[in-house]
Structure 1
Amino acid sequence: MSLGFPYNDGFLSAMRQAGDPRADTFISNCFSDSVLKQELYNWMKSADQNSDLTRVPLPFVSEDIFTRAQDLPVWANEKLMQRGCQFFGRYQNSIMQLLGLLSLPYCYAAANGAMVLYLSERLRNDTSKRLTDTGEFVTDVQTPGAFAEHGRGFAGILKTRLTHAIARFYTLRSGQWQNSWGFPINQEDMAGTSLAFSLIVIRGLRKTGVTIADKDQQAFLHLWAVISYLLGVDERLIALNGKAANLLEKAIRNRQFSESEQGKELTQSLVKTFADLDTESKLTRKDVEQLISYLLGPEISKLLGLSEKPAFHTKYLLKIFSTFSTWNPYFAS
């Protein structure tokens, strides 16, 4: 199921103090030299396809963060990965909406982990940019052909992995971080985020009326298990089947989910962004809040300051969701 199964408090507490040593060491060394730092930023800005991983700045050609960027885990099943990408393609519009309406607020309920997001001024002040970044990443890693030579999966994952390491680098030096929150963007939080983008999306699709075959669920979870591995998540925190994924999600939720002002503010920024971007159907903030509350369920909604029991009828909420599925806030201009 997973090398870390079962997921006890001692194990998860240790994972909360761990970052991504390979990426963190590389960024620490790279950022000690302003020239190398700029070269890395230039490459990250220009890299678009997997083939760009063979065209890296000369100082980085022997760095294993680059040379091993396309090394799949021994347990990876490429047929399952392809089926997972096909599943995404089949429900792409709905999945993209669920990422913003369910996965992101779900992550905000993890009070300690939300502090990294809250301390990012760009996230609070430019939530639409966060949605764009998220949309580009999940599209890059889930579009059929994502891991082929001219796909964008490997390149997108490496850029995100490096971005996480850069965020850790600056967060730890900001003077605002408290050790009681754990390591910034730690292993437990990364595992929880991967589950929010996979298992929680599956739950959300079912809540909107989609019937999902067991093989499709297995394929989608497997795809995200591989993505998690490439992002630097410890293999012991990668659930290899539905049972392990559910147990890990529950363990992390029980440990980390609690009410916080930061989580509430991040959620309201998200609600405002969705309401403001939808200029055609004129959905109100209350419409968006009610839909998010329905998708999250009463316990998590309460933590985020949302209605525990939506006032709107389920049929109306699903109608709102279908409205969202006809447009794309991730790439709105």
Structure 2
Amino acid sequence: MDIPYRFKLNTSSFAYYWTEGVGKELLNKLGFTPDIDNAKQFIPLLYQWDNRADQIIHELYDRIGIVAANKSLFNYMDNQPLPPDESTVWNDFFKDIDLNPDWLDKNKLQKGSELCRRPGLTSLIVLRDYCLMGGYESAAINKPLIYTGALKKGAVKRLVDTVEFWVQITKENGLEKGSEGLKQIFLTRMIHAYSRVHILDKSDWDAEKWGIPINSWDMLATNLGFSLVFMVGLQRMGIQVSSEEKEGVFHFWKYIGYLLGIPLELLPNNENEAIESLYYWTMTQREGDADTQLLASALKEEPVMAQYPTNPLMRKMMREIHLFYNHYLLGEYSCHLLGLPSTTIGRFGIINIWRTKKLEMKIGNGSNRQKAIVDGGNEQEHVRQIYQKYNQ
């Protein structure tokens, strides 16, 4: 089997994570270090993608335009009348998608969404400053962002979209039929397909070197970022994740991954499966390159470029606080690779960590926990509204 350029066994940058960083604790939980040679079996996934969604782009999006096609998707999901040709396209797409598969456990789904909401602002900090920023360490998975002009559009747009997606899918009953969360999932799936089709059609993308854009292997990595990596970040911030919550989060993201078009057999059912998958993915990534640091720098400057807070000095303060969280969560080694400077004034961010740990001490299994879930969800919804108000 030919090994593509992007597939590098025993990458040096992520090796540090597994030998000296947080990954060392994950391997201790797993009880063994996976054999990196086993990762070669996943190479075909670099050339596997969501063909069904791509077909929608060819049949509908390229004919009526992305804005009209997205509206058509939402109207279809709301059972609104559509032209016959549009209804046919969506009927063909959704006929094989079971929104209530026999393996789905609604109780686990609820527990997973509740953990996503319970930490409130801390969840969004972890997503931004740990999961998203840390993901830039891999050169390959981020190439589609470069080819779709993400740097020109700015990190603010990506944060607006990510917060919208997160808050809508994690709301109470956020994945019920007709919910905004469900619409966001299929909208995201179409955006992925639209980006992939047009990267391949209108650019010099080198598939032999980088694989297919937004392929199944990289989609799995994104799913692990929202589940396993997210929970690791929460624990570093002082959140105590129960075994029931952990099981719920993996089930929650298994369902979302399935709806996003990731092959079901790839999605982890538990922490051990997730750790092993993350090991194989990270340890076959090439080190970051110039694009890595450009994307990291754009995200670093996002608070300054955003329109909130309205005071420019306060936006600069927000940048420094996020830099503190980058260093606190990712560690100095990763921040050096990403080109992120250290900060002094941003250390005020430690106050939120103290607050989080103090609140966690008060949470049991009764009314305090339920209050934290409600309050955390409201806090995240408030952030979503701010992004929508000031950055549209």
Structure 2-normalised TM-score? 0.73
2:297–2:340 CA contact under 8 A, matched in 1: no
Deviation at 1:145, TM superposition (A): 0.7
Identity rate of aligned residues, in percent? 25
Deviation at 1:182, TM superposition (A): 0.8
Q: Letter of the 2:262 partner, please give it.
A: V
2:87 maps to what in 1?
A: 61
2:351 maps to what in 1?
A: 319
- 1:205 and 1:294 map into 2 onto residues whose CA distance is 12
Say if 1:231 and 1:54 are closer, same or farther in 2 by CA, change over 3 A.
farther
Residue aligned with 2:262, SS: coil
Residue aligned with 1:211, SS: coil
Deviation at 1:191, TM superposition (A): 0.6
Deviations 1:127-178 (A, max 9, x none): 2111111111112211111122342222111111111110011000122311
Q: Letter of the 1:296 partner, please give it.
A: L
- 2:75 and 2:151 map into 1 onto residues whose CA distance is 26
2:376 maps to what in 1?
A: none
1:264–1:304 CA contact under 8 A, matched in 2: yes
Say if 1:218 and 1:174 are closer, same or farther in 2 by CA, change over 3 A.
same
Q: Structure 1 stretch 59-68 or stretch 187-196: which is displaced more? A: 59-68
2:23 maps to what in 1?
A: none
Deviation at 1:11, TM superposition (A): 2.5
Select the residue among 38, 47, 50 that pairs with 1:20.
50
1:89 maps to what in 2?
A: 117
**Match runs of 1:34-113 below 5 Å:** 34=63, 37-38=64-65, 41-45=67-71, 51-52=77-78, 57-62=83-88, 63-69=91-97, 71-113=99-141
Deviation at 1:60, TM superposition (A): 3.6
Residue aligned with 1:167, SS: helix
Structure 1-normalised TM-score? 0.85
2:149 maps to what in 1?
A: 121
Deviation at 1:16, TM superposition (A): 1.0
Question: Does residue 1:163 correspond to 2:197, yes or no?
Answer: no
Q: Letter of the 1:84 partner, please give it.
A: G
Q: Structure 1 stretch 288-297 or stretch 229-238: which is displaced more? A: 288-297
2:339 maps to what in 1?
A: 305
Deviation at 1:53, TM superposition (A): 5.7
Deviation at 1:236, TM superposition (A): 2.5
Q: Structure 1 stretch 163-172 or stretch 191-200: which is displaced more? A: 191-200
Deviation at 1:320, TM superposition (A): 6.3
Q: Structure 1 stretch 63-72 or stretch 99-108: which is displaced more? A: 63-72
2:277 maps to what in 1?
A: 248
In the alignment, structure 2 segments of 5+ residues that lack a partner are 1-33, 357-378
Deviation at 1:199, TM superposition (A): 1.3
Select the residue among 309, 317, 322 that pairs with 1:283.
317
Say if 1:249 and 1:49 are closer, same or farther in 2 by CA, change over 3 A.
farther
Deviation at 1:313, TM superposition (A): 11
Residue aligned with 2:142, SS: helix
1:260–1:303 CA contact under 8 A, matched in 2: no
Select the residue among 176, 190, 211 that pairs with 1:182.
211
After TM superposition, the runs of 4+ consecutive aligned structure 1 residues lying more than 6 A away are 320-323
In the alignment, structure 1 segments of 5+ residues that lack a partner are none
1:218 maps to what in 2?
A: 247
Residue aligned with 2:202, SS: coil
Deviation at 1:109, TM superposition (A): 1.4
1:295 maps to what in 2?
A: 329
Deviations 1:249-276 (A, max 9, x none): 1211111251211111111101101244
Q: Letter of the 1:156 partner, please give it.
A: Q
Q: Structure 1 stretch 121-130 or stretch 243-252: which is displaced more? A: 121-130
2:221–2:281 CA contact under 8 A, matched in 1: yes
Q: Structure 1 stretch 286-295 or stretch 310-319: which is displaced more? A: 310-319
Aligned alpha-carbon RMSD (Å): 3.0
Deviation at 1:306, TM superposition (A): 2.9
Residue aligned with 2:246, SS: helix
- 1:314 and 1:271 map into 2 onto residues whose CA distance is 13
Say if 1:234 and 1:187 are closer, same or farther in 2 by CA, change over 3 A.
same
Q: Letter of the 1:319 partner, please give it.
A: I
Q: Letter of the 1:210 partner, please give it.
A: I
Aligned residue pairs, count: 322
- 2:81 and 2:331 map into 1 onto residues whose CA distance is 46
1:264 maps to what in 2?
A: 293
1:48–1:152 CA contact under 8 A, matched in 2: no
Structure index of larger Rg: 2
1:49–1:149 CA contact under 8 A, matched in 2: no
- 1:213 and 1:49 map into 2 onto residues whose CA distance is 39
Q: Structure 1 stretch 272-281 or stretch 154-163: which is displaced more? A: 272-281
Q: Letter of the 2:57 partner, please give it.
A: I
Question: Does residue 1:172 correspond to 2:204, yes or no?
Answer: no
Q: Letter of the 1:44 partner, please give it.
A: N
- 2:352 and 2:303 map into 1 onto residues whose CA distance is 12
